[in-house]
Amino acid sequence: MKLDILIFAALGIASVSSTYIVTCHNDQECGTVCGNYGPDTIAPSEGLFGTTCSCQNRQQPSYLCNRDGKNVYVCSDNQPPRCSVACGQQVCIQKDGRQSTGVIRSACPRYHPQNAHDCCNYGGSYCTCVFDDTIDSNWKVYNELGGNNGYSSNAYWGACGSHLGLKVGSVQGSLYFNLVRPKMCSAVMSDGYHQRVNHDMDQSLQTLQQQGLVLSI
């Protein structure tokens, strides 16, 4: 059991005090892995809360550029990656004396073509999911946390004010994650990406979702 806990901790279930909070603005930009949306959606970067992503072609990502002294890579097939996230898991995030309950429904992958290209082109906050532990949050969570980018102070498993109150990254929190095993959904991301939107593509995506032609989970 102790070994399992250490393994989960090593996978980066935590250290949320060094996690950067940004916004993906709306359902379309936040995207989904779990197949549903919501104003309280959060999309963790890889390594947070058990989130993992891999390129669809199962090949190593290709070098794209060097930004601020760091190399940026992208899926060589130029397709959104397949990600696995703890679907429906509630997380209480604290920042600047405020708190908000987010629900994990999506991911912010470092090798997503849009994320990687935006990082190379614009830098700054466009590189957070590529380089840093990041929670990309929909408008409700972002506004409740002050409506600005910045580092979280803490995060707890469960809704804010719930009986859980287990700090992410603590031994108790890691034990909870190990025992409860939140439902890990795996799917090719719908085209959510960091801080940019293509409305024509969004309309096409919504049509495909209504017809049940995307997100085979």
Whole-prediction pTM: 0.76
pLDDT of residue 214: 39
pLDDT of residue 190: 73
Per-residue pLDDT of the chain (217 residues; tens, 9 = 90+): 443 333 333 333 444 557 899 999 999 999 999 999 999 999 999 988 889 999 999 999 999 999 999 999 999 999 999 999 999 999 999 999 999 999 999 999 999 999 999 999 999 989 999 999 999 999 999 999 999 999 999 888 889 987 566 666 666 666 666 666 667 888 888 755 443 333 333 344 344 445 444 333 2
H/E/C letters for each residue in the chain? CHHHHHHHHHCCCCCHHHCEEEECCCHHHHCCCCCCCCCCEEEEECCHHHCEEECCCCCCCEEEEEECCEEEEECCCCCCCEEEEECCCEEEEEECCEEEEEEECCCECCCCHHHHHHHHHHCHHHHHHHHCCEEEECHHHHHHCCCCCEECCEEEECCCCCCCCEECCCHHHHHHHHHHCCCEEEEECCCCCCCCCCHHHHHHHHHHHHCCCCCCC
pLDDT of residue 178: 66
